[in-house]
Amino acid sequence: LNLHTNYIVHIFGKLEQNSNPVYSNSSGNSSFPKRSQPAAVYVLLYFFSAFLVILTVCGNLLVIISISHFRQLHTPTNILILSLAVADLLLGIFGIPFAMIKIIENCWYFGEIVCLVYNLIAYFLTSVSISNLVFIAVDRYIALCDPLRYTSIITVYFVSFFIALGWAFSLAYTIIIISMSGVDSSEGQDGCPHDCFVILSETCIMVDLIITFILPFSAMIILYFKVFTVAKKHANLINSTVQNSFLVILTVCGNLLVIISISHFRQLHTPTNILILSLAVADLLLGIFGIPFAMIKIIENCWYFGEILCLVYKLVAFFLTSVSISNLVFIAVDRYIALCDPLRYTSIITVYFVSIFIALGWAFSLVYNVIIISMNRIDSSEGQDGCQHDCFVILSETFIMVDLIITFILPFSVMIILYFKIFTVAKKRHLKIINSVNQQICTKELHQNKRPKNSERKAAKTLGIVISVYFICWVPFYTCKIIYTYTTLPVPNVFFNVLVWLIYFNSGMNPIIYALFYPWFKKSVHVIFIFLIPSES
Position 57 scores a pLDDT of 95
Tell me, yes or no, whether 126 and 192 share the same domain. Answer: yes
Tell me, yes or no, whether 249 and 154 share the same domain. Answer: no
Give 516's strand partners: none
| Domain coverage including residue 88 | 2-200
Handedness of CA 267, 268, 271, 274 (dihedral sign): negative
Tell me, yes or no, whether 353 and 243 share the same domain. Answer: yes
Q: How far apart are CA 105 and CA 111, in angstroms?
A: 15
Let me know: does 327 contact 279? Beta carbons within 8 Å. Answer: yes
Residue 415 domain flag: yes
| Residue 431 neighbours by CB distance under 10 Å | 9
Spell out the alpha helix ranges (H) of 37-75.
Answer: 39-69
Per residue, the 3-state secondary structure of 406-429, as one string, reads HHHHHHHHHHHHHHHHHHHHHHHH
Cα atoms in the Cβ-side hemisphere of radius 13 Å centred on 193: 16
Residue 92 domain flag: yes
Q: Cα–Cα–Cα angle for 70, 91, 126, nearest 5°?
A: 100
Let me know: does 3 contact 125? Beta carbons within 8 Å. Answer: no
Q: How far apart are CA 219 and CA 235, in angstroms?
A: 24
pLDDT in tens, 147-185: 889 999 999 999 999 999 999 999 999 999 888 877 766
pLDDT in tens, 100-148: 988 888 888 888 888 889 999 999 999 999 999 999 999 999 998 888 8
Tell me, yes or no, whether 193 and 237 share the same domain. Answer: no
Residue 343 domain flag: yes
Position 191 scores a pLDDT of 54
- The pLDDT > 70 percentage for the chain reads 80
Position 73 scores a pLDDT of 92
Tell me, yes or no, whether 193 and 107 share the same domain. Answer: yes
Q: Look up residue 247 and give its amino acid.
A: L
Position 14 scores a pLDDT of 42
Under DSSP, the state recorded for 341 is S
Position 11 scores a pLDDT of 44
Residue 43 domain flag: yes
Residue 365 domain flag: yes
Number of domains in the chain: 2
Position 430 scores a pLDDT of 63
Let me know: does 262 contact 273? Beta carbons within 8 Å. Answer: yes
Backbone angle region of 111, left / alpha / beta, with phi > 0 → left and psi within -120 to 50 → alpha: left
Q: How far apart are CA 262 and CA 361, in angstroms?
A: 20
The CATH number assigned to the domain holding 72 equals: 1.20.1070.10
Tell me, yes or no, whether 48 and 101 share the same domain. Answer: yes
Tell me, yes or no, whether 290 and 337 share the same domain. Answer: yes
pTM: 0.59
Tell me, yes or no, whether 173 and 272 share the same domain. Answer: no
Q: How far apart are CA 524 and CA 514, in angstroms?
A: 11
Tell me, yes or no, whether 373 and 449 share the same domain. Answer: yes
Residue 498 domain flag: no
Final residue belonging to a domain, choices 431, 460, 489 = 460
Q: What is the mean pLDDT of each run of 10 residues along the chain (537 residues)?
A: 41 41 35 62 89 94 95 94 96 92 84 88 93 94 89 93 96 90 63 70 87 92 90 74 78 88 86 92 91 83 83 91 91 88 88 95 94 80 59 81 88 88 77 57 46 57 75 83 75 77 80 73 75 52
CA-closest candidate to residue 226, choices 311, 136, 141? 141
Tell me, yes or no, whether 121 and 268 share the same domain. Answer: no
Q: What is the dihedral of CA 422, 424, 427, 431, to 10 degrees?
A: -100
Distance of CA 169 to the CA centre of its chain: 41
Tell me, yes or no, whether 306 and 432 share the same domain. Answer: yes
Residue 357 domain flag: yes
Tell me, yes or no, whether 189 and 256 share the same domain. Answer: no
Final residue belonging to a domain, choices 460, 493, 524 = 460
Final residue belonging to a domain, choices 460, 486, 510 = 460
Residue 487 domain flag: no
Per residue, the 3-state secondary structure of 253-288, as one string, reads HHHHHHHHHHHHCHHHCCHHHHHHHHHHHHHHHHHH
